Amino acid sequence: MSLVSDVRRLWHLSGFRRLTYARLLSQGGDGMFQVGIAAAFFFDPTNATSPESIAAGFAVLLAPFTIVGPFVGPLIDRWQRQRILLVGNLVRLALVVGICVALIANWPLWSLYVLALLALSVNRFLLAAMTAGLPRIVPRDDLLAANSVLPTLGTIAAAVGGAVGGIVTFFVPNASDAGLAFTALAASAVAFGLASWAATLIGRTDLGPENPLERLDLGKQVKALTRELADGVRYLYQRRTPFHALGVMSAQRLLYGMLFVSSILISRHALGDPDHPEQALGAFTIVVAFAAVGFGLAAVLTPTIGARMERQTWILLCLGIGAGAQLILVISSEPWALLSSAVIVSFAVQGAKIAVDTIVQRDTEDEMRGRAFTLYDMAFNVAFISSAVIAGLTLPDTGYSRTAMAVVMVMYVVVGLIYARAPRVPAPATTPTPAQPPPN
């Protein structure tokens, strides 16, 4: 299998191996954390009963990342990324301890929301830092394989972490919802602590950037960070290829988000019993499992097939596959159609994402990568929020509309036709002067 051979080849790189340790422990903790907040009824959109309520849930969950991310992300270009991994996981550990205290002390619900949102925000920051630092420890020719292997292993770790969190709570006798949440969250705190330790195995300068700034007055940096983010947009636009790659990723995420919201509702009515939410949640878990198969296939096949063609050509092929998956849902709303579409669309989305990651990394200079992936993260969240809002306005309560599915299918084709005209070679761009602390 290509995935196994890629792991074996990359594993000889000490930097990649150490970064993998940190990512596996960090995302394993993520899985446990998600089980914990689900048990505490934090932002669980699968309990929503209408497209509107699901849209509201996603907006609450993702909007803070979109608002805060642009001001935090440029720090990836300023601070040593290894220190970000070390300190970030320690911060998450502290936040999880705070959530556990809040559950035990029965603090107001809003305090739990704030702590959970902060923990989730730090997680997005850590993932962006790891992605931005990857080209520093992996040869250019192996970036496609690394972009396939590392997120896949991280996804597996998150799934295993979620399973561990669920098993741990299962063996807690006669526990309340708060008790179940506390158990899973405590397990995640241990994983975050181990992830911080794993980050110490990585050299302080191994992940870049070249010219870090360690001492910053954050209060004086807001204006500078805003300017740098705008510089990042101009830089990517001048380079062309990463700018268009981010655009196609955003469009594909929006279309995928429509199917995601739809699948939650279809799970209630087609796969589960609307009067028994636990059955609907179990049904949706089956859909997610099928989607995971698609993500895994993309990780295995993209380095093999995608390496034999241009990255842009592979993205176009994935868009065509996505359109074919939507055609299945135009034909039928039966469970077989939803599960088949979940596998195929997930393959298309992940396959294109791997190529987009590679294009952005390959065609963006090191001192701009942090800002590039901050914009990547921001575009991802905006696309998902937009998809939830659109789904809330267009989908019926059952989640299925043949017209909506047909429109999504057509949009895949339209996005492909537009991206087919995008340039294949990056253009010269002016790199902004490295950031310096503002005068006191």
Q: Report the alpha-carbon distance of residue 17 to residue 22 in Å, rounded.
A: 9
Q: Kindly tell me if the per-residue pLDDT of 122 is higher than 50.
A: yes
Residue 113: the pLDDT is 73
**Model pLDDT, residue 73:** 58
CA distance 180 to 169: 5
Residue 164 binned pLDDT confidence (cut-offs 50, 70, 90): confident
**Per-residue buried b or exposed e for 42-53, using 16+ beta carbons within 10 Å of the residue's own CB:** bbbbbebeebbe
Neighbouring CB atoms inside 10 A of 101's CB total 13
Instruction: Report the alpha-carbon distance of residue 420 to residue 396 in Å, rounded.
Output: 34
| Topology alike, domains 1-208 and 222-421 | yes
Please work out, in degrees rounded to the nearest 5, the angle formed at the alpha carbon of residue 57 by the alpha carbons of 321 and 162. Answer: 70
Name the helix (H) or strand (E) containing 330: helix 311-331
Question: How far is Cα 428 from Cα 295, in angstroms, rounded to an integer?
Answer: 34
Q: What is the pLDDT of residue 261?
A: 82
pLDDT digits (tens, 9 = 90+) for 127-157: 888 988 999 999 988 888 888 888 888 888 8
Of 427, 433, 431, the closest CA to residue 244 belongs to 427
Question: What does DSSP assign to residue 434?
Answer: P
- The ranges assigned to domains in the chain are 1-208, 222-421
What are φ and ψ of residue 437, in 5° steps?
A: -60, 140
- pTM exceeds 0.85, yes or no: no
- Please report which helix (H) or strand (E) contains residue 329, including its range: helix 311-331
Taking a C-beta distance cutoff of 8 angstroms, is the pair 152, 295 a contact? yes
Q: Which of 214, 196, 135 is nearest to 372 (CA)?
A: 135
Q: Which helix (H) or strand (E) holds 126?
A: helix 109-133
Cα angle: 125, vertex 344, 165; to 5 degrees: 45
Q: Cβ distance 160 to 231 under 8 Å? A: no
Asked if residues 191 and 172 have their Cβ atoms less than 8 Å apart, the reply is: no
CA–CA separation, 96 and 362 (whole Å): 36
Q: Which of 112-126, 261-275, 279-293, 347-361 has the highest mean pLDDT?
A: 347-361
Residue 169 is predicted with a pLDDT of 61
pLDDT in tens, 210-235: 777 655 555 666 677 778 778 889 99
- Structure-block tokens of residue 60: 């609450």
Percent of the chain with pLDDT over 70: 79
Phi first, then psi, for residue 240 (nearest 5°) are 70, -65
pLDDT tens for each residue of 36-61: 776 665 334 444 556 666 666 566 56
Q: Are 138 and 149 in contact (CB under 8 A)?
A: no
Alpha helices in 134-269 (DSSP H): 143-170, 177-199, 218-239, 241-266
pLDDT in tens, 59-90: 656 665 666 666 665 677 778 899 999 999 99
Enter the tokens of residue 440: 């006191």
Structure tokens at 250: 């955003």
Question: Would you place residue 329 in the very low, low, confident or very high pLDDT band (cuts 50, 70, 90)?
Answer: very high
How far, in Å, CA of 39 to CA of 17, rounded? 33
In terms of CATH architecture, what is 1-208?
Up-down Bundle (1.20)
Q: Is the pLDDT of residue 204 over 80?
A: yes
Is residue 27 within 8 A of residue 158, CB to CB? The reply is yes
Question: What is the amino acid identity at position 263?
Answer: S
Q: What is the DSSP string of 13-75?
A: SHHHHHHHHHHHHHHHHHHHHHHHHHHTTSS-GGG--SHHHHHHHHHHHHHHHHHHHHHHGGG
pLDDT given at position 281:
54
- Residues contacting 351, CB < 8 A, separation 6+: 298, 301, 302, 306, 314, 317, 318, 321
C-alpha 137/C-alpha 143 separation (Å) is: 10
Any residues with CB less than 8 A from the CB of 163 and at least 6 apart, and which? 31
Q: Which CATH number fits domain 222-421: 1.20.1250.20, 1.10.1370.20, 1.10.1660.10, 1.20.80.30?
A: 1.20.1250.20
The CA distance from 186 to 181, in Å, is 8
Question: What's the confidence (pLDDT) of residue 327?
Answer: 96
**Is residue 105 predicted with pLDDT exceeding 90?**
no
Retrieve residue 4's tokens.
């196994």
Q: How many CB atoms lie within 10 A of CB 238?
A: 15
